Structure formats: structure tokens, C-alpha cells
């Protein structure tokens, strides 16, 4: 059995100058690389924690949509916060983008360089036709 692997990308997909693909689709699973607060050209956009969180999630949304999925089809997230003082606000913001039943989730704090407040990666499934 042959499993198709593709690298979905369209004009709305945020670019990176680093050596990784924004997303890889294997069958009906989509693996999205870590998304941070970058603009459409891949330039880092420093902001408050909330601003970086929202920009990261919007980048994630764009990548998922280009791959035939969306935030409602996310089954797992991995989240990285520079400062654990933002955990309470992080949980509030997270609920704006994801609702019950929530995706499986891992959150790691005190792990990012000073240039970033937040980063997210995920696994999602393709929307059913």
C-alpha cells in the first residue's frame, strides 16, 4: 500500500527562511510545523504575548486551510511559552480558538528565546468531503 505524502502550500501560507515545510500531509493527517508571530514574508513580528499568540494561531489557520483542514479538525497541539507567567492568559486565549472536546495538548514553558513569546505546532485531519 502506497501512502501519499504532499507538502500543501498556497499564496496564503506563511513562508519561512528556515529549512522546514510549513505542513506535511500524509494520507488524511496534516502535521504543521511550529508557527510563531511572523508576517507573510517570514519576518518575525515582535508583540505582546497576546498579539504573538493571535498571529501564531492565524498563521496556523492559514496553513491548515491550504492543506484542506481547519482549526476544528486539530487533534493535537504542542505549545511553547517563553514565560510561565502567561499561562492563565494562554488558557483564556486558547479557548477562543479551540472548544470542547479540546484537542490533545502539551504545553511547555520557559523554553523559547527572548525574541518569541509563543509558538504552536499541531496535527490535524483533513476535512471530510
pLDDT digits (tens, 9 = 90+) for 51-105: 999 999 999 999 999 999 999 999 999 999 999 999 999 999 999 999 999 999 9
Least confidently predicted of 5-9, 28-32, 57-61, 68-72: 5-9
Domain 5-125 has CATH 3.40.50.300: no
Q: Which residue has the cell 484542506?
A: 68
State the pTM of this model.
0.94
Domain ranges of the chain: 5-125
CA 77 to chain centre: 8
- The C-alpha cell that represents 23 in the structure block: 505542513
Q: What is the pLDDT of residue 1?
A: 62
For range 32-59, the mean pLDDT: 95
Amino acid at each position: 500500500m502506497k501512502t501519499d505524502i504532499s507538502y500543501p502550500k498556497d499564496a496564503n501560507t506563511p513562508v519561512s527562511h528556515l529549512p522546514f515545510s510549513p505542513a506535511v500531509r500524509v494520507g488524511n493527517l496534516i502535521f504543521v510545523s511550529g508557527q510563531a508571530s511572523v508576517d507573510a514574508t517570514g519576518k518575525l513580528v515582535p508583540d505582546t504575548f497576546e498579539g504573538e499568540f493571535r498571529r501564531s494561531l492565524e498563521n496556523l489557520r492559514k496553513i491548515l486551510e491550504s492543506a484542506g483542514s481547519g482549526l476544528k479538525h486539530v487533534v493535537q497541539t504542542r505549545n511553547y511559552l517563553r514565560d510561565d507567567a502567561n499561562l492563565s492568559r494562554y488558557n483564556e486565549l486558547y479557548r477562543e480558538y479551540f472548544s470542547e472536546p479540546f484537542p490533545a495538548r502539551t504545553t511547555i514553558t520557559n523554553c523559547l528565546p527572548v525574541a518569541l513569546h509563543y509558538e504552536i505546532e499541531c496535527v490535524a485531519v483533513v476535512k471530510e468531503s
